A and B are shown apart, each in its own frame.
Chain A
Amino acid sequence: MAILVIAEHDHAALRAATFNTVSAARKIGGDIHLLVAGTGCTAAAQAAATLAGVSKVRVADAPHYADQTAENLAALIVGNAAGYTYILAPATSFGKNLLPRVAALLDVAQISEIVGIESPDIFVRPIYAGNALATVQSADAVKVITVRPTAFDACGQGGSATVENIPAGPDLGLTQLVNRELTQSVRPELGAAQVIVSGGRGLVSAAHYHALLEPLADKLNAALGASRAAVDAGFVPNNYQVGQTGKVVAPQLYIAIGISGAIQHLAGMRDSKVIVAINKDADAPIFQVADYGLVGDLFKIVPELTAAL
């Protein structure tokens, strides 16, 4: 039984979600291969070879993998799928975009965003924004699965996989990258941060969001997050959004500031270890999931909290 894990990387380094996906593969059990498809991606491939539990790294290095488009990657994966019983990728914007394309080309279902593995063909996944958990059994010969990174610990280092170059797949020429605007930040990545300071509509403006939350995040070495309302209002870019349709996070500490707690937001942070809510409305739903709630004026409380740390 062999498992192919699709590595998410930026050609130089692996993205953290890849480590969690390898962990899920180890839990399923079997020979684990990692596919690194990129352009000048030797460094990422070498990093992949050190992951604990990985026996082989397969590298496809070609110019048409520079932009990581789903069309070209899916063609490559399907061309190399023979012999694998499982194909896994992280349930990030990368994996969610790519893997259903692979599943359809293989004529199998995809099992989306699993949070648990019950047996080799039975998996647990959240539905209805995490308000229910479904246990599903796959009848397909190949199981194509995206893995929710926060549900599995990162795999360790210390492996020594063989690295094998494989021929590139076709360049389908369907899509071209025009430009990419990535938010530059010195803070920890939202999906992997130990502490997250998250702001909502209660902060009133972008200026207040930054003036109040950044000093607090600095003190805690935290990532910054936001509710949908804060993103829609233009306080911060889309990649800050935590929720059913944004990022799903599970840090050690999640501090929700001026966030009311719509179920779509709770879906993205309810698995955090400790949740703190600061909100002026004592009836806000966020208090129902918070371990520690502080009712009051965030404009007074947040600077006090920053000063007290």
Chain B
Amino acid sequence: MKVLVPVKRVVDYNVRVRVRADQSGVELAGVKMALNPFDEIAVEEAVRLKEAGIATEVIAISCGATQCQEQLRTAMALGADRAILVETDAAQAEVLQALAVAKLLMAVCEREQPGLVILGKQAIDDDANQTGQMLAALLGWPQATFASKVVIVAGRAEVTREIDGGLETLSMTMPAVVTTDLRLNEPRYASLPNIIKAKKKPLDVLRPNDLGVDIAPRLTILKVVEPPRRQTGVKVADVAELVAKLRNEAKVI
């Protein structure tokens, strides 16, 4: 069984983002980029499935500008066997939206015929939380979002999901789409030999046109601003002062 792992290049989660002065977006020039943390968990899960003898091949895929090759190399250093970049120009990459990505992934799924697609539940840049569900819909496959455990038994996927009230476990036919939550696993660190090995693994480059997909955005970003700042608070000396402030000033107790 092939496992396809879509990954996204995003601003590193430790970076404090700044909004551009012209309100066109957040500043990306000179900012450290990384593999979306949820996608890193997806790569790890796919590699573990291969190590357990369940997956035969792990293919990482990314859609975007040529620089996404860095994140695909990272995925291969973590254990993916090969990679595919659906390359757009930089301007297209900036407005590439979930529906377009899902369509590109669908076209690749039709070529590669994976038994499982596993990807992050959301990217930490646009926080959209859509791509996996959209891909499953387009393919007519079942979906298991927000996964904290994945077990493949007898041709079915049994996936435990983190939901608002607790946990639920779904059993589904395969092929299927799984999106990862934080507690699915702890990704390994790429070792130096594996980073070097990853440079020699195959990385194919396709264009959206090769896949016959229209990637025009449906949403236009009119502006991006900083959220309103909270007024700076005060430090209180002790519990008595805190209780007095909450009672008399904030009037919340």
A-chain residues with CB within 8 Å of residue B166 when the two chains form the complex: 180-183, 237-239
Interface residues of B in 187-212 (CB under 8 A from A): none
Interface residues of B in 206-253 (CB under 8 A from A): 217-227, 230-236, 238-240, 242-243, 245-246, 250, 252-253
- A177 near B222 with CB under 8 A, answer no
- CB of A250 within 8 A of chain B? no
**Contact digits for B131-146, partner A, Cβ 8 Å, 1 yes 0 no:** 1111111100111111
Interface residues of B in 79-125 (CB under 8 A from A): 97-99, 102, 121-122, 124-125
A127 in contact with B224 given A93-B146, A138-B219, A292-B236 (CB within 8 Å)? yes
- CB of A289 within 8 A of chain B? yes
- CB of A54 within 8 A of chain B? no
A175 in contact with B170 given A183-B165, A253-B246, A292-B246 (CB within 8 Å)? yes
Q: How far is the CA of A292 from the CA of B181 in the complex (A)?
A: 33
In whole Å, how far is A20's beta carbon from the nearest beta carbon of chain B?
14
Among residues of A, the one whose C-beta sits closest to the C-beta of B217 is A109
In whole Å, how far is A268's beta carbon from the nearest beta carbon of chain B?
12
- CB of B67 within 8 A of chain A? no
In whole Å, how far is B30's beta carbon from the nearest beta carbon of chain A?
17
In whole Å, how far is B250's beta carbon from the nearest beta carbon of chain A?
5
Task: Identify A103's interface contact among B134, B136, B145, B222, CB under 8 A.
Answer: B134
- CB of A263 within 8 A of chain B? yes
Among residues of A, the one whose C-beta sits closest to the C-beta of B13 is A264
A109 in contact with B167 given A127-B125, A291-B250, A292-B242 (CB within 8 Å)? no
- CB of A191 within 8 A of chain B? yes
- CB of A193 within 8 A of chain B? no
**Contact digits for A281-295, partner B, Cβ 8 Å, 1 yes 0 no:** 010000111111111
- B133 near A97 with CB under 8 A, answer yes
Chain A interface main SS type: mixed
Q: How far is the CA of A173 from the CA of B169 in the complex (A)?
A: 16
A-chain residues with CB within 8 Å of residue B16 when the two chains form the complex: 131, 263
Among residues of B, the one whose C-beta sits closest to the C-beta of A96 is B129
Task: Identify A294's interface contact among B97, B224, B242, CB under 8 A.
Answer: B242
Query: B residues near A, CB below 8 A?
Result: 11, 13, 16-17, 19, 26, 38, 97-99, 102, 121-122, 124-138, 141-146, 148, 158, 161-173, 181-183, 217-227, 230-236, 238-240, 242-243, 245-246, 250, 252-253
Query: A residues near B, CB below 8 A?
Result: 69-71, 74, 92-94, 96-105, 107-113, 122, 126-140, 173-183, 191, 195, 220, 228, 231-232, 237-239, 244-245, 247, 252-253, 263-264, 270, 273-276, 282, 287-295, 301, 304-305, 308-309
Besides the known contacts A101-B136, A109-B219, A292-B242, 16 further A-B residue pairs in the complex with CB atoms under 8 A apart: A71-B142, A110-B99, A112-B127, A127-B26, A127-B224, A137-B220, A176-B170, A179-B168, A181-B166, A232-B182, A245-B38, A273-B250, A273-B252, A292-B234, A294-B235, A294-B242
Task: Show 30 residue pairs from A and B whose CB-CB distance is below 8 angstroms, ordered by the A residue.
Answer: A93-B145, A94-B164, A103-B130, A104-B99, A105-B138, A109-B99, A111-B219, A132-B17, A132-B26, A132-B225, A133-B226, A134-B126, A134-B223, A135-B221, A137-B220, A178-B158, A231-B183, A232-B182, A252-B252, A253-B246, A264-B13, A270-B230, A276-B242, A292-B245, A292-B246, A293-B234, A294-B238, A295-B235, A305-B242, A308-B243
